Structure 1
Amino acid sequence: MSEVKIVATLTPFPEHIDTIRTAARAMVNPTHHEPGCLQYDLHESRAIADVRDLANTGAVSFVFIERWKSEEDLKKHVAMPYHDDFLAILEGKLESLSVQRLTVLA
């Protein structure tokens, strides 16, 4: 079995930023205690319109950077009751949701 890397980006509608921030933070501690979790970090980001300016003026997103021992461990994570509860909270509150699986090229 090989390690699985995931980046999940949640961009809430502006009126739901605080709700999503709270719900996302609540996911971190229980996930860290899952046996297959190698990394589960939550970041808050702001879109940057111009990389030469670096002004944090764009949309707020929450980014999870995850590493799992195996595909099976990731499947166990998404089957957790608190993961289902988290998805229920997200319902109708996100402008976008992107989940990406990373593969090392070099």
Structure 2
Amino acid sequence: MSVVVIASITPQPEHAQAVREAVLAAIPRVHAEEGCERYALHEARDGALVMIEQWAGPEALAAHGKGEPFTELSRQLEGKLAGTPELQVLSAVPAGEEAKGAL
């Protein structure tokens, strides 16, 4: 069963562009990871960057967390964030129409 992750990071204002560019550069490499079903960047009104992720299962998510794209991005973001990234790992509760009721 797929695992959905909502990851929010808030750049320090003076590093907002550098953080955005680093995340954007990492996306194609993450898309190539085995088990990546969705890795889509969004921006919140307060400037936080929110990644909506979907992984084929817990093993794929765990591999992503240890993979080179993630570790390299984490290194690039050191000292540029306003706090610790917020992560929510979710399991779907399908309801309604199959295509609309779950990621």
Q: Which runs of 5+ in 2 are unaligned?
A: 96-103
Does the 8 Å contact 2:30/2:69 carry over to 1? no
- Number of the residue aligned with 1:102: 90
CA distance in structure 1 between the partners assigned to 2:49 and 2:67 by the alignment? 20
1:89 corresponds to which of 76, 88, 98: 76
> How far off is 1:101 after superposition?
0.8
Q: Which has the higher strand share?
A: 1
CA distance in structure 1 between the partners assigned to 2:5 and 2:80 by the alignment? 22
CA distance in structure 1 between the partners assigned to 2:87 and 2:80 by the alignment? 16
RMSD: 1.3
Does the 8 Å contact 2:38/2:53 carry over to 1? yes
- Number of the residue aligned with 1:80: 67
List per-residue Cα deviations over 1:6-33 (Å, max 9, x = no partner).
Answer: 0000001100101100011012101111
2:52 corresponds to which of 65, 77, 84: 65
Deviates more, 1:62-71 or 1:30-39: 30-39
Number of residue pairs aligned between Structure 1 and Structure 2: 93
Percent of residue pairs bearing the same amino acid type? 37
- In the superposition, the TM-score normalised over structure 1's length comes to 0.80
- Number of the residue aligned with 1:56: none
- Number of the residue aligned with 2:16: 17
CA distance in structure 2 between the partners assigned to 1:15 and 1:84 by the alignment? 23
CA distance in structure 2 between the partners assigned to 1:90 and 1:100 by the alignment? 19
Q: Moved runs in structure 1, 4+ residues, more than 6 A?
A: none
List per-residue Cα deviations over 1:77-100 (Å, max 9, x = no partner).
Answer: 111112111111111111131011
Residue identity opposite 1:103 in structure 2: S
